[in-house]
Amino acid sequence: MNIKFKIISLLIFIFLIYNPIFAKSDCSDILKNRTSLKMTVGFGKMFFNGYNYAKKTNIKYSKSKLKKFIKAICRIEKNITYAEIFGRAADSNLDTSQFKLKVTKAEDSTGNLKTIDKFFINYHKHFKENPDTRKCFISHLHKDRGAVKFIELKYEELESLRTSQGEDYYKESWVDEVFQEDADLFWKFLQKTSKKCK
């Protein structure tokens, strides 16, 4: 990397930290707006170039890892700023394990089942038209530690996608995107529970 590029990267790094646009919190927009998320991830490469030069580090930038990190931190810390997001991403080397949902048994038993009911209503026409099926699925879901709390966190993002695109129900691709590495667990849960809730 030549000295000119290093200087440009450093200036961009400083710009992102002190620019009032990026100093404000906008996690809600990031989670609801794909374009906003893509733009934020795009600025990440410039930020990491500047960060590595200024800190004399060699953190490997990855669009997919940064996207995953931004989604994870925004779901947990709603009032964080762009500068703080990038800073935390760099300081932790894009480690999302710190944002794993910590749910106690007490929280499991008091989860908002109304939200879960809405989730299933908007997930598929069959669930919407069969309240007994929803009730059965919810009862099985509620047995899994942290499952109710997890879907509560994802519900808002899925609803944003559904309403913004004028769809009646969620698309499977949305569930894969929003649930990320936990999507397989959800599909397995549906398949397993469908045999019990006919």
Of 71, 99, 127, which one is at a domain's C-terminal end?
Answer: 99
Could you tell me if 28 and 10 lie in one domain?
yes
24's tokens: 């404000």
Pick from 78-87, 105-114, 146-155: least confident: 105-114
Residue appearing with tokens 């733009």: 39
Statement: residue 105 has pLDDT above 50: no
Could you tell me if 93 and 133 lie in one domain?
no
Could you tell me if 8 and 91 lie in one domain?
yes
* d(C-alpha 116, C-alpha 108), whole Å: 13
Confidence of residue 121 (pLDDT cuts 50, 70, 90): very high
Confidence of residue 102 (pLDDT cuts 50, 70, 90): very low
Could you tell me if 126 and 39 lie in one domain?
no
In terms of C-beta distances under 8 Å and separation of at least 24 residues, what long-range contacts does 83-90 make, across chains too? Answer: 83/16, 83/17, 83/18, 83/22, 83/23, 85/40, 86/16, 86/43, 86/44, 86/47, 86/48, 86/51, 87/17, 89/44, 90/47, 90/48, 90/51, 90/55, 90/57, 90/59
Write the DSSP symbol of residue 59.
Answer: P
Could you tell me if 95 and 167 lie in one domain?
no
Q: Exposed (0-12), middle (13-18) or buried (19+): which is 47, by Cβ within 10 Å?
A: buried
Could you tell me if 126 and 92 lie in one domain?
no
Domain assignment of residue 51, given as a range:
3-99
Q: Exposed e or buried b for every residue in 72-95, given b needs 16+ CB within 10 A?
A: bbbbeeeebbbbbbbbbbbeeebe
Could you tell me if 49 and 32 lie in one domain?
yes
Could you tell me if 7 and 94 lie in one domain?
yes
- pLDDT for the residue numbered 110: 38
How many other C-beta atoms can be found within 10 angstroms of the C-beta atom of residue 117?
16
- pLDDT for the residue numbered 123: 93
Could you tell me if 137 and 112 lie in one domain?
yes
pTM above 0.95, yes or no: no
104's tokens: 């106690």
pLDDT single digits (tens) 59-95:
888 888 888 888 878 777 767 777 788 888 888 888 8
Statement: residue 16 has pLDDT above 60: no
Could you tell me if 155 and 83 lie in one domain?
no
Could you tell me if 158 and 137 lie in one domain?
yes
* d(C-alpha 33, C-alpha 160), whole Å: 8
Total number of domains in the chain:
2
Tell me the average pLDDT of the chain. 76
Of 60, 82, 99, which one is at a domain's C-terminal end?
Answer: 99
| Cα–Cα distance list, 39 to 22, 24, 59, 103 (Å) | 12, 15, 20, 32
H-helix segments, the chain: 3-18, 20-23, 27-32, 34-55, 63-76, 82-91, 105-109, 113-123, 125-129, 131-141, 147-164, 172-179, 183-194
Could you tell me if 112 and 187 lie in one domain?
yes
Contact call for residues 71 and 180 (beta carbons, < 8 A) = yes
